[in-house]
Amino acid sequence: MRLDMPRWGRIPLLVLVPVFSILWLVPLAWTVASGLRPGNAVFRSFRGLNWRTFIPDAVTTENVAAIADGTLGRAIVNSLIVAGATVALGVLISAMAAYGLTAFRFRGRGLIFALVVLAFMVPFEALAIPLADSARSVGLDNSYIGLILPGVGNGLAIFLLRQFYLDIP
């Protein structure tokens, strides 16, 4: 906020910041309160927005214990493995492809770049079922590699890295 702004110009800011802060904090408070409620008591708090929505009648930590005892920990580890490998391999391969499209002059370079741009314009949802069928047919279903490979060749990453390389003197 500028100090030379007139006092009346600060009023919308002074009103909007608390409003948006409350709008951001309300779902967070409801999530914490729901996590401290026992069993099906979470669904009883849906009957309207009042103070009981945010302050549970009975507080329990059984939901937190269920997270620790269940398979959520393994699911988080699996997600971290897949995400980490996808990002690492994706950046490595995309950086090499972008460098090749930037540094080397060869016939068909423009066509390859056009195909890269076209590739990131196709939504992933349109490719999900064919990718799953392909992974199943080569025996990669229910494996880390089957989850990592589709995210490695990212057309948007190649495009952005190519544009970055073009700006390097």
54-107 residue pLDDT tens: 888 888 888 888 777 777 888 889 999 999 999 999 999 999 999 999 999 999
User: What's the pTM?
Assistant: 0.67
Q: Domain ranges for the chain, please list them.
A: 7-69, 72-167
pLDDT at 18 over 80: yes
Q: What is the pLDDT of residue 116?
A: 93
Q: Specify the range with the lowest mean pLDDT, choosing from 16-20, 37-41, 120-124.
A: 37-41
**Locus of tokens 């699911």:** 75
Residue 162's identity, in one-letter code, is: R
> In this structure, are residues 163 and 120 in contact, taking their beta carbons and an 8 Å threshold?
no
